[in-house]
Amino acid sequence: GVILLMFGVGLHFSLKDLLSVRAVAIPGALVQIAGATGMGWGLATLLGWPTSGGIIFGLSLSVASTVVLLKALQDRRLTDSDRGRIAVGWLIVEDIATVLALVMIPAFAGLPNGATLIADPFVSFVERLAGHTLDIYWVLAITLVKLTAFVGFMLVVGRRIIPAILHATAHTGSRELFRLAVLAIALGVAAGAAYLFGVSLALGA
């Protein structure tokens, strides 16, 4: 259920919508993440925590729940409003930042180079080819390249291939087959993104 609800973000929001609210959503999300992280770090410092623990605590506070807010917007029928588009765009920026934070946190936490909080199969493959462990900056660079490639891939597949599949399925006249196709696409995208980035299926969706 959570996977399907998260996948609904993509159904209710497009890159065009994100770009239309980018002047508010992108800087707003980044400022909010930085502000919450700073406040969390400040509180942790007052409590005597180490700097690395304070930063991780602050990053944890900075991430909003996409599932909860999306459900609230849908219940109030605000998803397609200007405020709804800004809110969903804000959440998308936060989700992307979360993927990057999961890669960067080990650098702040003082973990060994190459240690990450996500099991990234692609990074492991590159490490085997290179014959040594990659440092955190290489891992971050690989993650950015994968994120860009995945977004580009989904723009092509999402605009052309998936609608064609659903159109052909709808013409069969079978409601059950159409539901199955939608479910398979939603779970397939979630599983593919989760495997590519080494994150949960919900975040992959």
Determine which helix (DSSP H) or strand (DSSP E) holds 111, and give its type and residue range: none
pLDDT tens per residue, range 39-51: 999 999 999 998 8
Q: What is the pLDDT of residue 199?
A: 66
Of 141, 131, 51, 148, the C-alpha closest to 104 is 141
Q: Which has the closest alpha carbon to 146: 84, 102, 177?
A: 102
Separation CA 189–CA 187 (nearest Å) = 6
What CA–CA distance (Å, rounded) separates 34 from 40? 10
Whether residue 95 contacts residue 79, with contact meaning beta carbons closer than 8 Å, is answered with no
pLDDT at 71: 79
Q: Does the structure show a pLDDT above 90 at 103?
A: no
CA 29 to chain centre: 13
Residue of 19, 41, 40, 38 lying closest to 30 (CA atoms):
38
Rounded CA-CA distance 177/124 in Å is 38
pLDDT > 60? residue 161: yes
Pick from 72, 89, 80: nearest CA to 32: 89
Which H helix or E strand runs over 52? helix 51-62
Q: What is the pLDDT of residues 110-157, one digit of tens each?
A: 455 445 555 566 677 777 887 877 677 777 787 778 778 777 777 777
Q: What does the alpha-carbon distance between residue 95 and residue 205 come to, in Å, rounded to a whole number?
A: 11
Pick the range with the lowest mean pLDDT from 16-30, 167-181, 189-203: 189-203
Please report the pLDDT score of residue 105 as a whole number: 65
Q: 189 or 18, which is more confident? A: 189
Mean pLDDT for 98-109 is 65
More confident position, 164 or 67: 164
- Quote the pTM value: 0.62
- pLDDT for 47 equals 92
Q: For a pLDDT cut of 70, what percent of the chain falls above it? A: 82
